[in-house]
Every structure is written in C-alpha cells, then in structure tokens.
Amino acid sequence: MKKAYNETWIENIGNQAIIKNWHEQKMLSDEQFNAAQNAFPVGFHRSNIFVKIGLFLFTNIVGSASFGFLSLFLAGVLSESSIGLGIISLIYAGILFFFLEYFIKKNNFYRSGADNALLYAMLGAVFAFFIAISDFELPAWIYCSIALIILLPALLRYADPLVAISLYLTWIALWFIIVTKFPIGKLIIPFVIMLVSAASYFFIQFWRKQENTPYYTDCQDIIEILALATFYLGGNYLVVREGNAMLNGLSDSIQISFAPLFYLLTAAIPVFYMVRGLQKHNRKLLIVGILAIAFSVFTYRTYFSVLPLELALTIGGGLLVLLIIFTIRALKTQKFGLTYMALGSNKFQNLEAFIVNQAIQQPSQSDKMKFGEGNFGGGGAGSEY
C-alpha cells in the first residue's frame, strides 16, 4: 500500500538525531554539522509536544462541532433508525479522510497532533458506521474482525503507533473471544494467547526483514513489545488464576489446573527474556524482562507472602540498589560485549559514509614551518628556515 508520508524525510529525522548527538559529543565540527544537516533535510511541519497537544485538542473540538453541525441537517434521517446514524458516520469519515490527506500533502504534517486527531476520528467514524448498520446485534468477534480490517490499511498507510497498539490488542481480543466460546476454551486460553503472541512476535521479525525502513520502525517495536508482554502474561500464574475466576463467575479465585506449570512459566519467562536480551543486545527484551521479573515477584508475593510488605519492599529495594551499583562498576569497561557507557549505532551506514566524506574534504592547515631550505645541508638549522 502507498505510504502517506515522505519516507526520505522520516529517515532523515533519525539521521539528524544522530548528527546532533555526534555534534554534541564534539565528534563533528560546526561546518560538518551544518553540511550534514543540509544533506539530510526534513520538510515536515515540526513543533514541540505542547503545540502538538494543542493541535490535537483543537482538531478534536472542531471535528466534534462539525459532526454536530452535520447532524443538524440530517436530523430527520438520524431519528428514523440506526442506519441514519451509519450514513452520517460514513459521510463524516469521508470528510475527515479528505482533510487528513490534504493536510499531510499541503501542510506536510507528520504526527503533528492535527493529523493524529483526524486519523483517529476517521477510524472511529468508519467503525461507527458498521456498528450502526448492524444495529448493534452482531457478535463481538465479528466487530473485532471488522476493526482489524479497518485498522490494518490505516497502519500500513499512516504507520501510527496508537493504531499499531489498537490493532494488536484487537487481534488478541479476537482470539480470546473466539476460544472462550467453547467449553474447553477456558482451559486452553492461556496457551492460545501464548501461541498467538509468539506467532505475532516472529511475524514482526519477518516483517522487519521484508520492510527494513524507518517508516514502520515505531509500529514494529510497539507490536514486538506487546507480543512479548502478552506471551508472558498468558503464562503468568496470577493472570491465569484470576482470569479463570472471572470467566467462571467465581467471587474468589481457586487453585487452577496445571498450577506447577504456570509457577514455572512465571519464573522462567522473565529470566529467558533477560538472558536473550543480553545475548542479542536487545534492549526491548531486556526491559520487558526486567518488568516481568518485577511482576513475577508481585505474583508470588500475592499468594505466598512471608514477610510484611514494608519489610519486603525495604529489603528488595536495598538489594536492587546494590545490584545496580555493582553492575555499573563492573560494566564501566566492556565485558562480554556489554558496557555501561553509551555507544553509537551502526544502523546509519549511509550517514556515517557522508560524515567521513565531509571529514576528508575538510581543508587541512598548511605547515608554517618548511624544511629543506636552510643554510646547512637543507636541514633548516641556519638563520633562515
């Protein structure tokens, strides 16, 4: 599918961030920095976070007022049936799509707040159309399927992180709804969630190889992190036990089937994430592993509490501080391919080649002292150099 934003400019956003970092570290002179900035231009409308929030809120207010104004003219159709609401929603979605594309092309908006608001409102209006024409009577799994059909093209065209989150969560919800409809589904749903999460994770790895461009990097990272999180939560003892109680309408949770297996998964998955993160130098795996370890500790404490909460927090916090201090000191010098110090990335090979070329082209200072013209044998040792 054709992408909505200029891919070269998106790539240059990352390039400029690296250039700025190198300049701050005194690796580039001012001349090289300016030349590199000009060589990787970004034509998007760029503003700070507060302006983006303001544009997002303002666009939502204008959009809501426009929807109300449109409804006044079509109040007769709206009052007759839910189909009337669907028609208005579809018309509204078309208007929003027109302005979204217009602002992207004419004003060079890219995640500026206004285009985000238009995108979310358009997707909501399209989904409202399908809900209205079905008169709110279709099963939940069908609505999840419709949402996936709507969100997938939007993700491929606009590569919006929030759309990526919505797409993945809808994907997981679809499997949850379908599987739990069957009697055996309540028993196997943790394993299904883990299987779907693993399949999603490996699909993202395959997608990265096929589409290795900065355009989709944020969305790929988000889905990858969510897949790691849902894989862990699918095997977490607390989530499975409390979820089982909720599905069966129990006021208090009871011991679940295969409890020893879920004890093992709760402990083993975070450790696996940490080890693989260190081996592969994968920060996403490492961070998710750390968070998973914290949640695993909370899980075991919920059902097997030994110490008072205050004492457990104090001891745990002290041990973590000591571990952090030890790790920082140990990794000040690189060991096993790991270091505490920040290192540059080799992702931007074209950028590095450009910078090296600029460095080579810098005029060198001419030597003020010239040898070979002295009075004694050409060594420069006489009264004249």
Mapped onto helix, strand or coil, the DSSP state of residue 219 is helix
Distance between CA atoms of residues 73 and 76, nearest Å: 8
Query: Residue 45 phi/psi, 5° resolution?
Result: -75, 115
First to last CA, the chain: 71
pLDDT-derived band at 77 (thresholds 50, 70, 90) equals: low
Residue 282 forms part of a structural domain: no
Domain containing 52 equals 1-17+42-137
Residues 358-377 have a mean pLDDT of: 45
Percentage of the chain exceeding pLDDT 90: 40
pLDDT surpasses 90 at 80 = no
Residue 57 forms part of a structural domain: yes
Residue 330 forms part of a structural domain: no
Residue 268 forms part of a structural domain: no
Higher-pLDDT residue of 252 and 152 is 152
Domain count of the fold of the chain: 1
pLDDT of res. 301:
84
Residue 3 forms part of a structural domain: yes
pLDDT of res. 155:
95
Residue 228 forms part of a structural domain: no
Distance between CA atoms of residues 214 and 221, nearest Å: 11
Higher-pLDDT residue of 209 and 46 is 209
For residue 107 the two structure tokens come to 């004003």
pLDDT surpasses 80 at 207 = yes
For residue 322 the two structure tokens come to 């000591």
Residue 171 forms part of a structural domain: no
Residue 234 forms part of a structural domain: no
Nearest to 165 by CA among 128, 205, 120: 120
Distance between CA atoms of residues 40 and 15, nearest Å: 7
Residues 372-377 have a mean pLDDT of: 46
Distance between CA atoms of residues 362 and 36, nearest Å: 13
Tally the residues of the chain. 385
- Range 100-132 burial, b when 16+ CB lie within 10 A, else e: beebbeeebbbbbbbbbbbbbbbbbbbbbbbbb
Mapped onto helix, strand or coil, the DSSP state of residue 132 is helix
pLDDT-derived band at 367 (thresholds 50, 70, 90) equals: very low
Distance between CA atoms of residues 341 and 281, nearest Å: 14
Residue 108 φ/ψ region, left for φ over 0, alpha for ψ in the -120 to 50 degree band, beta for the rest: left
